[in-house]
Amino acid sequence: MKDKNLPLDNDTQSLEELTSEANEMLESLEKEKDLQNSIDKYQKLLKLNNIIEKKFQKNSKMINEEAKKKIHNINKKNAK
């Protein structure tokens, strides 16, 4: 799925908020009896899942970079 297809309002939400929203959508899907509504909700859930994956990857990369910087600083201090 392309980024341009994803809603922009989810960009400001945290991973926890997005995960909670996905869980609510899943619960709603489980209760849904109308197939057409289920398809629409499922497609929204797929988009939300894509947003969560991208945000998780971005956060993971940021944490990894911060850890490398801290390790580098510790190595500098130990080298003195």
Convert the pLDDT of each residue in 33-78 to its tens digit: 888 878 888 999 999 999 999 999 999 999 999 999 999 999 888 8
Amino acid at 1: M
Distance CA 50, CA 54 (A): 6
Please report, for the chain, the start and end positions of each structural domain, with discontinuous segments joined by +.
14-79
Please check whether residue 2 is in contact with residue 46, taking contact to mean a CB–CB distance below 8 angstroms.
no
pTM of the model: 0.66
Distance CA 29, CA 34 (A): 10
Distance CA 46, CA 6 (A): 10
Closest by CA position to 10, among listed 41, 36, 43, 48: 48
